[in-house]
Amino acid sequence: MSVRHALLALLSEGPKYGLQLRQEFEATTADVWPLNIGQVYTTLQRLERDGLVESDGSSGEGSQNIFRITPPGEQELTRWLHAPTDMTPPPRDELVIKILSALRVPGVDVQDVVQAHRRYVVELMQQWTHLKEDDTDFDLSFALVVDAELSRLDSLVRWLDSASSRLKRASVEPPVQSPGPRLRRRVVVRR
């Protein structure tokens, strides 16, 4: 999560105090990601050092300073918004590692391991869904955050489902031994 760029986005609306930025950041992210005021000022100081924001600095103490975005700050914000978030290499996902590890452990039913995680994720999804049950009391930021979390959890269930199907198929049809050397495929990412 880029607090730095989120603060630039809030400052693009006009000059603001540090405390106000914290409140608006939390409101924008529907209070799902609380932000420490110290983190706000440290980030603002770095942004100022890099010339992306400026403050009037009149009162000396950060809490009374008004911050405004500079033209280089606006350029940086636009660049960040349009730059795809780097998702390579794949994150080292503990769930995936756990299922892969379960395959190696004698006496463990991997389907049971898959199911334990599937149930947990669906239970989490029930809680998130409960939050959006009453859509009359539902603001846009909050709806987007809940949708994002439900989509993320849903993708885990889908992966667990496909893992379950693959495991079932593999238990019926043992893997065929490849005659030649194993082809190692690498994911090459063009920068």
| 33 binds another protein per the rule CB under 8 A | yes
CB of 108 to another protein, least distance (A): 16
Other Cβ atoms less than 10 A from the Cβ of 16: the count is 19
CB of 82 to another protein, least distance (A): 26
Q: What track of x and - describes contact with another protein for positions 59 through 78 (by CB under 8 A)?
A: --------------------
Stretch that binds another protein, among 44-52, 62-70, 77-85, 118-126 (CB under 8 A): 118-126
- What one-character-per-residue DSSP string does 82-141 give? HSPPP--SPP--HHHHHHHHHTTSTT--HHHHHHHHHHHHHHHHHHHHHHTS-GGG--HH
Nearer to another protein, 96 or 122 (CB): 122
Nearer to another protein, 93 or 147 (CB): 147
Instruction: Report the C-alpha gap between 143 and 161 in whole angstroms.
Output: 26
Stretch that binds another protein, among 40-48, 71-79, 91-99, 160-168 (CB under 8 A): 160-168
Instruction: Report the C-alpha gap between 100 and 148 in whole angstroms.
Output: 26
Taken in order 58, 16, 40, 10, is the CA torsion positive or negative? Answer: negative
Instruction: Report the C-alpha gap between 99 and 109 in whole angstroms.
Output: 10
Greatest Cα-to-Cα distance within the chain, rounded to the nearest angstrom? 76
Contact (CB, 8 A) for 141 and 149 = no
| 34 binds another protein per the rule CB under 8 A | yes
| 166 binds another protein per the rule CB under 8 A | no
**Among 46, 79, 130, 152, which residue interacts with another protein (rule: CB under 8 A)?**
130
| 13 binds another protein per the rule CB under 8 A | no
Stretch that binds another protein, among 25-33, 47-55, 56-64, 170-178 (CB under 8 A): 25-33
Nearer to another protein, 9 or 30 (CB): 30
Tokens matching residue 144: 């987007």
Q: Residue 3 is inside which H or E element, if any?
A: helix 3-11
| Residues in touch with another protein (CB under 8 A) | 26-27, 30-34, 111, 115, 118-119, 121-133, 135, 137, 139, 142, 147, 150, 153-154, 157-158, 161, 164-165
